[in-house]
Amino acid sequence: MTYYRRVGEVPPKRHTQFRQPDGTLYREELMGEEGFSSDSSLLYHVGVPSAIVDSTVWEVSDLSTRPNHPLVPRHLKLHGLFDGLDWKAYDVVTGRRLLLGNADVRISYVWAGEESPYYRNAIGDECVYVEAGSARVETVFGVLEARTGDYVMLPRATTHRWIPLGDAPLRAYVIEANSHISPPKKYLSRYGQFLEHAPYCERDLHGPDEPYVCTGEDVEVYVKHRGDGPSGVVGSRMVYASHPFDVVGWDGCLYPFTFNVADFEPITGRIHQPPPVHQVWEGTNFVVCNFCPRKVDYHPLAIPVPYYHSNVDSDEVMFYCGGDYEARKGSGITLGSISLHPGGYAHGPQPSAVEAALGAESFDELAVMVDTFRPLELGEAGLASDDGEYAWTWAGRRRSGQ
């Protein structure tokens, strides 16, 4: 995170005695990134945060992947993944299904109605986009309220759980990094403050406002951590002697928060702007962008939809989650679709979309894009949701005899 917060009770000086009403010391935990060399927060626990009484294997969901070979662009139809399934029995943690992944990032999707177990991702940060629905996200730092259009940003090793709210499924698009995820450096001063040209600022980020203190014994936490499993990911179920949410206060620059896509201010111009103007987050070897409702290019001869472009260094994953995406008209893509345009393939608008967009003053569209700088492979859900036809929609046909 980029700025300091203080929540609940903390002593005037760090690493000094801080006592409970009965005279017992609170236990201080430093949660920090990159060893002791980057952002951190100090949390003050009632119990001992290291005290576990059991640890067993958690068999994480299928994370095996298959290369996108032979090379083709793909259309994944996500909403069909949960057709006929009882979404009320799924939770955001154990119910997620892998769409795409590589050594840097995994992209999953889930419909959920059940509260999740307590969970900690010890491999990397998680960025969860709430496509629809709402949830209460309880964390060791406090409670976040998540709603449609929110990014829920969870730093590595943040113990938390998801509690869906309402009668409709919580639809979540999950980006799991093997690194940290942060605002792009180009938006920040050398001291970490958002600059004036940034499309959002500190006021738009909503962290916990007060502690969420829980008591209890023998609390089970599902932990995803590094190992020899698919993508180097394995799981354990660790049982803690006291509740991990026994934190009476914390301060620092590392904590979970939400950011709603409606608070992103699009950058536009007289002619078509390249995708980096839509960037919202960055991780190691990948970026995340928003394509939001916006005024479009206002040069009298402007072509508002993108020009054809070759992904020389990246795979492009576009999740269509609101409005009507102009450049893909005629391709079969609709809400709940993903397009995968792999590196080595020149892509752009459907032929009919170019002329249809001329003279447009605004686009009512919402999409979340992930660009990765290593090739993505297809997970179980990616293979199951592929329509098998998208690659041929620009030409309108396949090669003769096929």
The tens digit of pLDDT for each residue in 322-381 reads: 987 766 767 889 999 999 999 999 988 888 888 888 888 888 899 999 999 999 999 999
**DSSP letters of 321-373?**
EEE--GGGTTTT--TTEEEEE-TT-EE---HHHHHHHTT--EE-EEEEEEEES
**Strand, helix or coil at 80?**
helix
pTM, entire model: 0.95
Can you give the pLDDT at residue 331? 80
Question: End-to-end distance of the chain based on CA atoms, in angstroms?
Answer: 52
Give the residue from 159, 124, 125 showing the smallest Cα distance to 239: 159
- Sign, CA torsion 14/16/21/24: positive
Residue 188's Cβ-count burial label (10 Å; 0-12, 13-18, 19+) is middle
User: In which residue are the tokens 């009632």 written?
Assistant: 46
Interior CA angle at 332 toward 326 and 335, to 5°?
65
Spatial contact of 194 and 188, defined as CB atoms under 8 Å apart: yes
Residue 358: both structure tokens together: 């001329």
Can you give the pLDDT at residue 327? 60
Spatial contact of 115 and 164, defined as CB atoms under 8 Å apart: yes
CA distance 20 to 95: 39
Can you give the pLDDT at residue 145? 98
Give the residue from 249, 316, 309 showing the smallest Cα distance to 274: 309
Can you give the pLDDT at residue 260? 98
Can you give the pLDDT at residue 359? 86
Can you give the pLDDT at residue 353? 84
Length of the chain: 402
Radius of gyration in angstroms for the set of CA atoms belonging to the chain, rounded to a whole number: 22
Can you give the pLDDT at residue 111? 98
CA distance 391 to 180: 33
Can you give the pLDDT at residue 391? 93
Spatial contact of 135 and 92, defined as CB atoms under 8 Å apart: yes
Low-confidence ranges of the chain (pLDDT < 50): none
Residue 278: both structure tokens together: 């839509």
Give the residue from 219, 275, 300, 222 showing the smallest Cα distance to 61: 222
Can you give the pLDDT at residue 349? 86
CA distance 314 to 90: 33
Interior CA angle at 33 toward 32 and 37, to 5°?
95
Can you give the pLDDT at residue 142? 98
Can you give the pLDDT at residue 84? 87
Can you give the pLDDT at residue 401? 58
Spatial contact of 341 and 312, defined as CB atoms under 8 Å apart: no
